[in-house]
Amino acid sequence: MLSYLRENTGNWIIKIFLGIIVIVFVFLGVGSFGSKRGDSIATVDDEPITMKEYQQTYKSIVDQYRAQFGKEINEELLKALNIKQQALDALINQKIMLAEADKLNIKVSAKELQDALISFNAFQKDGVFNMDQYKAVLSRESLTPESFERLQRISMREGKLRSVLMSSINVSDIEAQNWYRFLNTKTSVEYIGFDPKKYTDIHPDDTQIKQYHAEHKDEYKSEPKVKALYLNFAPEDHKDKVNITEAQVKDYYDQHPKEFQIPETVEAGHILIKVDEKATEDAAKKAEKQAFDIYDRIIKGEGFEGLAKKYSEDSSKDNGGYLGRFEKQQMVKPFADQAFSMKAGEISKPVKTMFGWHIIKLISKENASTLTLSQVSEKIRQTLALQEMQNMAYLKAGEAFDAVIDGDDLDQVARISGKPVMETGEFSISGEGLDIKDRQEFAKIAFELTEDNVSDVKQIGDSYYLIKRVQKIDATVLNLDQAKDKIIKDLTENLRQAKAKEEARLYLEKTKQTQSLAQIAKDHGLELKTTPLFSRNGAIEGIGNSPEFIQAGFSLNENQKIFPEIIEAPTGYYLVGFKEKKIPDDSEMTETIADLKQQIARRKQSQAFQAWITELKKRYTIQYDPQLLN
């Protein structure tokens, strides 16, 4: 059942060379080209969506996420991303969009298709479309020119429809300016914090412990456990079957030029005289004068390293200002522009950046270069071999899952696959009790299964698994002695949280008379702190990432100086008052307005498309079995 899927989605060439077409699979789910074979799992009007289409689309979306996130992707994240719903939505959207394209008579001419095909780098040699190369690339993917061109034609029809829909969406300069101000406005607040951890004198007594246990009994249970059977399909099982040819190595090298480029680098040191973001004009001028005085001393013959150790105001001063070797994009623009324009041995005049004034000494420069095929061929060969072994393991796991779908039990599947059925002991949701790599991931999957059902193919680490849960041991309520340590810990935390919140509430009441956090802090011996300027989308030094704190800060101004509620953040409870607000100057956005307008346009286009497709769905009869998503 799934052989077509595995043969046509597992290989790295299609994923990398034909990225645009992979996106078509992900967002349109056109694996079966409107085939009406197989069981229908949904219909859009009378147009069926088959199980095969659904499986192909699901796998394509998963592959796309794995290509993006690599080993960071896991079953928990995939579940959170709701891939099943994404796959079904993509297929429903596809049926609707193709129907709408038909109504608008949107077509792709032979000339348009030809122009698109010859533009693919994967099909070119020496920058020119090559028919032999075209056929060879498709052949390696078990694709014919006809099937590939059908995919491309569908992709282009969808692109034309989107162009028609989005052609009226524009972004004005004023809209971009307002959004820039919104994103880049910064504010600073003063605050008094109440940290529950500071109330170390709070300890629950026996009566409180007993009462808490009686009221929260069901929260203190033994861990549920399960037992499982599984088949493991590991890439290493196929290492003797892989044979990477010189042609494959060269293909990879030719199609990934950026991977083998070594950018230009410089080795440099600097002397930094800091200028605080909130520095007065006099302080800023004083720092500038100091930087130029130091520069004059260097020019007159004093040693750069000695002056750096004496005057530089960053951690590099201990090494005589030495910064090491770096690429251009690793440094802020004014610094990088100056450093990369210099020759070895030169010392720059002071350069101003957001950090202050820098005197730069260029030690050496390495020009950009490209590693040769001979230098990287072995590394490429290893990469391709690992990918091939991964694909082979996935193919074997998929063939085993085919047998599961056809009704075979796990023992029969094991015999077909030539794999032993492995049995676990009892294990918890954390994986304790398992002797398996990535045991926590395995445990989460097993706990999500219903009794005696076999999972679909699951990737855990580099291996693929079919898992069958065979027994569940339910949790039991713990008695007071068994749960006491955990109860004391939880109750202590709750009491300290309550005390911190109550004190914050009492002092908030006092601000109604004084209208000043500074006065409250002074009168009651509390510590008043001030944040640095912060934006709407960043963490706050000393507070962390608290949307509630940030929202409160931006709601304050000269007329509303104290936020009228207690702010609860991960680090405690806070009273927050206005300090200052900095609105960016329009001149600062001149270089970014074009990019900003594009970002806003993309967001508006996405929103418009979603609104359009949502409205269209109301006009179509869409039916599917909700159990599909469970």
User: Do both 12 and 83 map to the same domain?
Assistant: yes
In terms of pLDDT, which residue wins out, 24 or 244? 244
Q: Which residue has the tokens 């969506």?
A: 49
Q: Is pLDDT of 461 > 50?
A: yes
Spell out the residues 6+ positions from residue 534 whose beta carbon is closer than 8 angstroms to its own.
186, 187, 188, 540, 541, 550, 553
Mean pLDDT of the chain: 88
Task: List C-alpha distances in Å: 246 to 260, 388, 404, 508.
Answer: 17, 15, 38, 73
Reported as half-sphere exposure (CB side, CA atoms, 13 A), residue 503 has a value of 19
Residue 179 lies in a domain: no
User: Do both 10 and 131 map to the same domain?
Assistant: yes
User: Do both 143 and 207 map to the same domain?
Assistant: no
What number is the average pLDDT over the span 537-560?
A: 91
Which CATH number do you get for residue 250? Answer: 3.10.50
- Beta strand ranges found along 275-327 (DSSP E): 322-327
What number is the average pLDDT over the span 50-56?
A: 81
Q: How confident is the model at residue 358 (pLDDT cuts 50, 70, 90)?
A: very high
Residue 381 lies in a domain: yes
The DSSP line for 88-149 is HHHHHHHHHHHHHHHHTT----HHHHHHHHHT-GGGEETTEE-HHHHHHHHHHTT--HHHHH
User: Do both 33 and 153 map to the same domain?
Assistant: yes
Q: Is pLDDT of 227 > 60?
A: yes
What three-state secondary structure class fits 453?
coil
What pLDDT is recorded for position 572? 95
User: Do both 117 and 160 map to the same domain?
Assistant: yes
What number is the average pLDDT over the span 448-475?
A: 92
What number is the average pLDDT over the span 190-196?
A: 97
Query: 58 with 88: CB under 8 angstroms?
Result: no
Q: Which residue has the tokens 């993309």?
A: 602
pLDDT tens profile 97-136: 989 999 999 999 999 999 999 999 889 888 899 998 898 8
Measured distance CA(378)–CA(246) in Å, rounded: 10
Q: Is pLDDT of 174 > 70?
A: yes
Measured distance CA(303)–CA(291) in Å, rounded: 15
User: Do both 322 and 416 map to the same domain?
Assistant: no
In degrees, rounded to 5, the angle at the alpha carbon of residue 362 between the alpha carbons of residues 361 and 364 is 150
What pLDDT is recorded for position 588? 67
Query: 478 with 222: CB under 8 angstroms?
Result: yes
Using CA atoms in the order 547, 553, 554, 558, what is the torsion angle rounded to 10 degrees?
170
User: Do both 212 and 284 map to the same domain?
Assistant: no
Residue 578 lies in a domain: yes
User: Do both 12 and 116 map to the same domain?
Assistant: yes
Query: 545 with 539: CB under 8 angstroms?
Result: yes
Q: How confident is the model at residue 490 (pLDDT cuts 50, 70, 90)?
A: very high
What number is the average pLDDT over the span 432-442?
A: 91
Residue 600 lies in a domain: no
Last residue of some domain: 421, 449, 473?
Answer: 473
User: Do both 396 and 530 map to the same domain?
Assistant: no
Q: Which residue has the tokens 């006092």?
A: 510
Structural domain containing residue 89 = 3-167
Q: Decide: residue 196, CB within 10 A, 0-12 exposed, 13-18 middle, 19+ buried.
A: buried
What's the total number of domains in the chain?
Answer: 4
What pLDDT is recorded for position 63? 77
User: Do both 419 and 517 map to the same domain?
Assistant: no
Last residue of some domain: 439, 456, 473?
Answer: 473
Biggest distance spanned by C-alpha atoms of the chain? 87
Residue 628 lies in a domain: no
Spell out the residues 6+ positions from residue 34 whose beta carbon is closer than 8 angstroms to its own.
47, 98
Residue 583 CA to chain centroid, in angstroms? 30
User: Do both 59 and 116 map to the same domain?
Assistant: yes
Which CATH number do you get for residue 51? Answer: 1.10.4030.10
Reported as half-sphere exposure (CB side, CA atoms, 13 A), residue 262 has a value of 12
For 241, left (φ over 0), alpha (ψ -120 to 50), or beta?
Answer: alpha
Q: How confident is the model at residue 433 (pLDDT cuts 50, 70, 90)?
A: very high
Residue 41 lies in a domain: yes
Query: 313 with 272: CB under 8 angstroms?
Result: yes
Percent of the chain predicted with pLDDT > 90: 67
Last residue of some domain: 582, 598, 616?
Answer: 582
Q: Which of 319, 349, 244, 19 is nearest to 151 (CA)?
A: 19
Q: Is pLDDT of 567 > 70?
A: yes
Residue 116 lies in a domain: yes
Q: Which residue has the tokens 């063939």?
A: 399
What pLDDT is recorded for position 39? 66
Which CATH number do you get for residue 282? Answer: 3.10.50.40
The residues facing 472 across adjacent strands are 226
Find the helix packing angle between 131-140 and 145-166, rounded to 10°: 100
What number is the average pLDDT over the span 164-171?
A: 88
**Six token digits for residue 181:** 């101000």
Query: 454 with 468: CB under 8 angstroms?
Result: yes
For 109, left (φ over 0), alpha (ψ -120 to 50), or beta?
Answer: beta
In terms of pLDDT, which residue wins out, 514 or 195? 195
User: Do both 40 and 159 map to the same domain?
Assistant: yes
Q: Which residue has the tokens 């219903």?
A: 450
What pLDDT is recorded for position 416? 92
Predicted TM-score of the model (pTM): 0.53
Q: How confident is the model at residue 8 (pLDDT cuts 50, 70, 90)?
A: very low
Q: Which residue has the tokens 């990019």?
A: 595
What three-state secondary structure class fits 459?
strand
The DSSP line for 369-385 is EE--HHHHHHHHHHHHH
Residue 623 lies in a domain: no
Q: Which of 104, 172, 74 is nearest to 459 (CA)?
A: 74
Measured distance CA(166)–CA(72) in Å, rounded: 34
